[in-house]
């Protein structure tokens, strides 16, 4: 800021007026050579506005009269070139001191009433806009300024210094296109990647081999289980058929049980057994059959006469029938 000892006119508020343009042209033609001489890294200067300064009083001794007039304050920016390296902060402060020293040397000369200099905060957005000005608009939106250690950079989303970086894994490369940042995976002919960021790497050969082994195990397991189920089902069916046939035969047939050999009426064979009534030579007789001894004619004496009686042989073989056994299930028992 420089306070020039010239009267301020209303036309200076209009940047399109001739008086404004003429004043600015004269001021720049005077100050630019001076800055180039005093400031080594000077690049250019830019007038921001003209404002009205403090009133200047003048007293006339002859007329004892006071006249009042305002001055012109020129607000302008001084641009300097600073190398973007690890020492850019120190370079900036050095240039600022050089500009302030040059302004202080102008105070009190050529109607310059007052001067002052102010530090400007670093606007990294403007730096990035200036760097990406040569790029198409579709690409510029993927770039952002970043202050790295001692350095200002304009980086894309593929850079880790970006506020919202694009992460890529498994040594994949990141590139910015019209659609935004994308990850390009490596060795796609032998590997698959399940994520867009090239994460979850899957080897094709290992996948095919594992899938084949698993499929073979499943097939063998299914075949064994199927054979076991079929064989077991046949065994169960065969067992059921056999049991069913036995039960049906048992239920359909009229079972006859033979008589026991030794009963209350049985006679054991001994030395006096009559072979006629033995079990081997047993027979049945009709109830009308009468046993009559055969006597010879010379035995007609009365002492040998045997009264006639009906002697029926004892039948040692008789059919014994029992009730049919009742079948009960294991649960009923």
Same domain for 107 and 195, yes or no, is no
Q: 230 and 154, same structural domain?
A: no
Supply the pLDDT for residue 291.
47
Q: pLDDT tens, 111-156?
A: 788 888 888 877 778 778 888 888 888 888 899 888 777 678 888 9
Structural domain contains residue 52: yes
Give residue-wise pLDDT tens across range 283-308. 444 444 444 555 444 544 444 454 55
Among 319, 249, 258, 248, which residue's Cα sits nearest to residue 284? Answer: 319
What is the structure's pLDDT at 35? 92
Contact present, 167 and 158 (Cβ < 8 Å)? no
Supply the CATH number for residue 33's domain.
Answer: 3.30.70
Euclidean distance between CA atoms 249 and 244, whole angstroms = 8
Position 239 in a domain: yes
Domain count, the chain: 3
71-113 pLDDT per residue, tens? 889 999 998 888 777 677 788 888 889 999 998 888 877 778 8
Predicted confidence (pLDDT) per residue in 199-213, tens digit: 888 887 888 888 889
DSSP E strands, 104-212:
112-115, 143-148, 151-156, 173-177, 180-184, 191-193, 201-203
Examine the domain organization and report whether 82 and 44 are in the same domain.
yes
Final residue belonging to a domain, choices 100, 120, 140: 120
Looking at 66, 91, 120, the residue that finishes a domain is 120
Spatial contact of 154 and 143, defined as CB atoms under 8 Å apart: yes
| Res. 69 pLDDT band, cuts 50 70 90 | low
Do residues 11 and 104 both lie within one domain? yes
Give the residue from 178, 150, 146, 140 showing the smallest Cα distance to 159. Answer: 146
Domain of residue 165, residue span: 129-199
CA dist., res. 214 & res. 277, Å (int): 85
């Amino acid at each position: 800021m420089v306070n020039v000892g010239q009267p301020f006119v209303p036309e200076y508020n209009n940047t399109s007026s001739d008086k404004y343009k003429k004043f600015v042209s004269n001021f720049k033609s005077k100050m630019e050579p001076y800055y180039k001489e005093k400031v080594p890294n000077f690049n250019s200067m830019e007038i921001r506005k003209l404002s009205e300064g403090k009133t200047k009083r003048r007293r006339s001794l002859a007329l004892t009269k006071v006249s009042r007039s305002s001055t012109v304050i020129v607000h302008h920016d001084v641009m300097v070139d600073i190398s973007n390296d690890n020492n850019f902060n120190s370079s900036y402060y050095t240039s600022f001191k050089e500009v302030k020293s040059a302004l202080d040397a102008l105070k009190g000369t050529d109607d310059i009433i007052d001067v002052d200099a102010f530090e400007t905060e670093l606007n990294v957005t403007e730096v990035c806009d200036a760097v990406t000005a040569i790029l198409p608009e579709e690409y510029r939106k993927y770039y952002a300024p970043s202050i790295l250690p001692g350095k200002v950079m304009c980086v894309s989303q593929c850079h880790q210094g970006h506020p919202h970086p694009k992460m890529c894994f498994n040594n994949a490369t990141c590139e910015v296109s019209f659609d935004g940042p994308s990850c390009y995976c490596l060795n796609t002919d032998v590997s698959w990647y399940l994520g867009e960021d090239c994460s979850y790497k899957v080897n094709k050969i290992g996948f095919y081999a594992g899938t084949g082994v698993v499929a073979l195990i499943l097939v063998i397991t299914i075949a064994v289980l199927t054979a076991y189920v079929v064989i077991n089902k046949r065994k169960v069916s065969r067992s059921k058929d056999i049991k069913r046939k036995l039960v049906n035969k048992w239920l359909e047939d009229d079972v006859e049980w033979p008589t026991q050999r030794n009963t209350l009426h049985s006679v054991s064979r001994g030395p006096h057994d009559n072979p006629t009534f033995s079990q081997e030579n047993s027979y049945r007789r009709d109830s009308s059959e009468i046993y009559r001894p055969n006597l010879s004619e010379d035995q007609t004496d009365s002492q040998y006469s045997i009264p006639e009686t009906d002697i029926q042989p004892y039948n040692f073989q008789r059919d014994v029938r029992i009730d049919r056994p009742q079948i009960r299930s294991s649960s009923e028992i």
